[in-house]
Chains A and B, each alone.
Chain A
Amino acid sequence: MGIRISNLSKTFLINNGEKRIDALLNIHLEVEDQEFICLVGPSGCGKSTLLKILAGLEAADEGLATLDEEIISKPDPDRGMIFQEYALFPWRTVRKNVEFGLEIKGYRPEQRLRISQKYLALVGLLGFADAYPHQLSGGMKQRVAIARSLSLDPKILLMDEPFGALDAFSRLRMQEEITRIWNEEHRTVVFVTHDIDEAIFLGDRVVVMTPQPGRIKSIIPIGLGRPRNRNSHDFLRIRDRVYAEFALYNTDAGESTDDETGWGEHLPAAGVAGAVTTVADLNSYWPE
């Protein structure tokens, strides 16, 4: 049971078919029921494409993905999706946004009210039920989107860089918030991010992905209890390990000149400076 992805590939043709981009190549991954799994990697590694395929919004070219042994071919309320851009309907109030999926399902108004009430309370936004999305902060908007997805009682929750547009402080707050919500409403979560700390803070396992072609490089089990301390020795040890994965990726691609991710050029080539593995070293090379 759970999500099973086998031999999945997806290719995009750009410039009228002149150039092929292997967004995903031979992806194998199994996600257990109620597992919180994080996909992490630089832009272009195919993590968002993989998520869209799981949502049924895009089709794979080869291979398949299944949820509870059923092949995923189109969107379904069983698979809720959270977008970086929140995707709230600006003409609906917070409550009406949460009730959108219930309207689609044909629930009666009193049922809708009961369910929206429950999930607005869960995300702590009961007091904003009648506000419009533009009146809310980014973090609040994303909480509305989470409540909206949960209201449909999905088996899995797909989150596509949900905190990517938030400032650093709201981001940390939302990471704690999602941990709390996940503790109350246990679901399978596939969480895409390019923030390594975020992935380690949230995930049961962290899937490290690399671009060109989009592949899974390694899967790192976290094995820490929740809530997690970002400064604990174990946390930093795992962080070191994930950073090392990316440094190794870079030495592998040392000869490649068309590195579009912008990561490679900040790192010394393997032959010159040797493998970069310590956090301190890496931080000094980190872009931004």
Chain B
Amino acid sequence: MRMKKFWKDPAFQMIASLAFFLLTWYVASITGLFGRYPPRLMGLLLPTPLEVARTVWEMAVTGNLTRHLGISLYRVMTGFALAVCMGVPLGIAMGRYRMVNGLVEPLVRVFQPIPGVAWVPLAIVWFGLGNKAAIFIITISSLFPVLLNTTQGMRDVDITLISAALTMGANPRQITTKVLLPSLVPYLITGFRIGMGFAWRVVIAAEMVGVPSGLGYMLSLGRGIGRTDITIVTMVTLGAVMLLIEHSVFVPMERKTLNWKKAWGR
């Protein structure tokens, strides 16, 4: 059997691409691509990968990184959970009852286009510089993707499936639990995924401009005290956390629905 050419191996490609990136980073950092300063200040603009790795260690030891990560994570999860608890039932009610839809839809149209970050000033005025303000903004911004995907899912429910369940003697409660909710699952996953992305974006923004804790605070703190390495470590952490959530929650969920998702395409 002939050996596969090593440069066609995806693992090799991944390592090569990361290595190229790190090398470029290192060269940019020592040559002063982003501006020239006296050598002892060079690290201020773009610290080398090695310096950043050292900072990761330092921050892990002091516990600062995990503490602020925990704070942001708590805000995102609470705000997102609130958005789900409100958005899913409301979306189902809007799909089911014309009246609820008529009452809620105008408000959705008014508030949905406002970017979540635009709520930051009001939230700080109302709730002060703490968790409450951050959670409020997160809830507002992740509510709409969850809500809109739920109503879309309700609109797309296959009427024939409901008829079939009715002819088999299903009552309204069984129609809801055995037909409506399973039909909604792919739409809910999409809504949750987008809502979670929105939640992270606004929590960072809120922490950068006001709320003095969490990963967003660390990002702007690093800049403020001349420790660009802290900012970069925080960015990397943020990327890693989002990647982890994507792969440990959403990808497995999607894989589960893959078995039957194809049937929706009709």
Contacts and interface: CB of A to CB of B under 8 A. Distances in A.
Interface of A: 55-57, 75-77, 79-81, 83, 85, 87, 89-92, 100-101, 103-105, 132-134, 148, 152
- How big is the B interface, by class? 20 to 34
A134 B167 contact: no
A57 B166 CA distance: 8
Contacts of B158: 87
B260 interface: yes
Interface in B138-172: 158, 160-161, 163-170
Contacts of A76: 167, 169
Given A57-B166, A134-B260, 13 more contacts: A56-B167, A57-B167, A76-B167, A80-B167, A87-B161, A89-B179, A91-B182, A91-B257, A100-B168, A104-B168, A105-B169, A134-B259, A134-B263
Contacts of B34: none
Contacts of A91: 182-183, 185, 257, 259-260
The 5 residue pairs across chains A and B that have the minimum distance between CB atoms: A90-B263, A90-B260, A101-B168, A87-B164, A77-B169
A77 B264 contact: no
B163 A77 contact: no
Nearest to B166: A75
B169 A83 contact: no
B20 to A, nearest CB: 41
A79 B178 contact: no
Contacts of A148: 168
B160 A134 contact: no
Nearest to B266: A85
A190 to B, nearest CB: 13
B263 A100 contact: no
B163 A134 contact: no
Given A75-B166, A80-B167, A104-B168, A90 B178 contact: no
B137 to A, nearest CB: 35
Contacts of A100: 165, 168, 178
A102 to B, nearest CB: 9
B64 interface: no
A150 B205 CA distance: 59
Contact of A83 (B160, B168, B183, B261): B160
B260 A132 contact: yes
B262 interface: yes
B7 to A, nearest CB: 37
A56 B166 CA distance: 9
Contacts of A103: 178
A104 B174 contact: yes
Interface in B83-109: none
A92 B182 CA distance: 10
A46 B185 CA distance: 36
Contacts of A90: 260-264
Most buried by B among A79, A92, A103, A134: A134
Given A90-B260, A90-B263, A77 B161 contact: no
A55 B263 contact: no
Nearest to A79: B167
Nearest to B257: A91
Contacts of A132: 259-260
Contacts of B166: 56-57, 75
Contacts of A57: 163, 166-167
A134 B257 CA distance: 12
A70 to B, nearest CB: 15
14 contacts: A56-B167, A57-B163, A75-B166, A75-B167, A87-B160, A90-B263, A90-B264, A104-B168, A104-B169, A104-B170, A105-B169, A133-B263, A134-B260, A152-B169
B113 to A, nearest CB: 33
Contact of A85 (B160, B170, B178, B257): B160
A254 B136 CA distance: 71
Contacts of B260: 90-92, 132-134
